[in-house]
Amino acid sequence: MKIIEIAKEIFKIESRAISNLSSLLTNDFDGAVTDILNSNGKFIISGMGKSGLIGTKIAATLASTGTPSFFLHPGEAYHGDLGMIEKDDIVLLLSNSGETDEVLKIIPFLKNQGNIIISITGNPFSTLAKNSNYHLNVHVEKEGCPLNLAPMSSTTATLVMGDAIATALMKVRDFKDKDFAQFHPGGSLGRRLLTKVENVMNSKNLPTCSLEDNIKDITKIMSSSKFGLTVVVSGNKIEGIITDGDIRRAMEDENSFFTLTASKLMTKNPKTINQDAKLTEAQKVMTDTKINSLLVTKDKALVGIVQIYDLGL
């Protein structure tokens, strides 16, 4: 078999495993999600080996989408870390066989404390499944492993079930992009949604000229800056803007070019944005008007310039 055919085969096997999950869903999924929504505690995930690695990812997804969650290693839990679990917490236990010893050992503590237990296994008749308040079945007919030993399809199915839980919680809560940004400020979305224009604008050595400045003065001012524009001001008032494109177009009329002043050359009523606006607002203005620079104002006075590359797009 060609190597590329091996890859295609594993895609088919795992795709079938995922497609089959919908037929395995029961009312336990609805009950589990409802209890998580109504919980005043944390959502704690635990699993051993490969299941534990998947559990870590599920916990991270939930935490970033509005559900306070973390991963707890079952071995560490049994040796002291059970103190991290409080009475109001809901615990999700992962084990494909449903018979993983390290996971089963923490069940008595959870039952004694009254925690709600959700399990994800590939065996609805397992010890773990039978001792859970809600069981989510991720049974697969075949692992992707050619020996049918290494967990591949089963871990993929478990991960997708975790994504289903996270997605259901997001939709029922009406979780928005601005909410995601609160938990993910370091990403590009978080940066655009939470950062203000004043945090990225250029505020030093702004290129400005007066209404009476001639073309020679304007060109000199523009050449000394990196913005490719000059702002025409009168006191604190913004009168207009002159771009390098304006100058190039004006040069076509050689007879009047050297007699031009800023008042004749400028574009009136240039686009501006308040310094307290979010980067998303600046992005929308630039996109809608097809411009690369915005004048930043405070009380209608020029305080900075923000350009498209300042937004990190």
Q: Domain locations in the chain?
A: 3-175, 197-311
Cα separation, 154 vs 20, in Å, equals 12
- Could you read off the pLDDT of 213-269 as tens digits, one per residue? 999 899 899 988 888 899 999 988 999 999 988 888 888 876 778 888 999 999 999
pLDDT at 33 over 60: yes
Average pLDDT for residues 42-64, to the nearest whole number? 95
Q: Are 48 and 102 in contact (CB under 8 A)?
A: yes
List the helix and strand counts (H, then E) for the chain: 16, 12
pLDDT at 176 over 90: no
Predicted pLDDT of residue 92: 98
Report the mean per-residue pLDDT for the chain.
90
Structure-block tokens of residue 154: 């089963």
Cα separation, 161 vs 89, in Å, equals 20
pLDDT at 177 over 70: no
Predicted pLDDT of residue 186: 53
pLDDT tier at 187, thresholds 50, 70, 90: low
pLDDT tier at 18, thresholds 50, 70, 90: very high
Cα separation, 123 vs 111, in Å, equals 21
Architecture of domain 197-311: Roll (3.10)
Give the dihedral sign, CA 200/203/206/208.
positive
pLDDT tier at 145, thresholds 50, 70, 90: confident
Q: Which of 72-76, 226-230, 301-305 has the lowest mean pLDDT?
A: 226-230
pLDDT at 288 over 60: yes
User: Other CB atoms closer than 10 Å to residue 154's CB: what's the count?
Assistant: 26
Predicted pLDDT of residue 179: 58
Q: Which of 54-68, 135-149, 183-197 has the lowest mean pLDDT?
A: 183-197
What's the number of CA atoms in the CB half-sphere (13 Å) around residue 237? 5
Predicted pLDDT of residue 189: 54
CATH topology of domain 3-175: Rossmann fold (3.40.50)
Average pLDDT for residues 148-174, to the nearest whole number? 93
Helical (H) or strand (E) element with 268:
strand 267-268
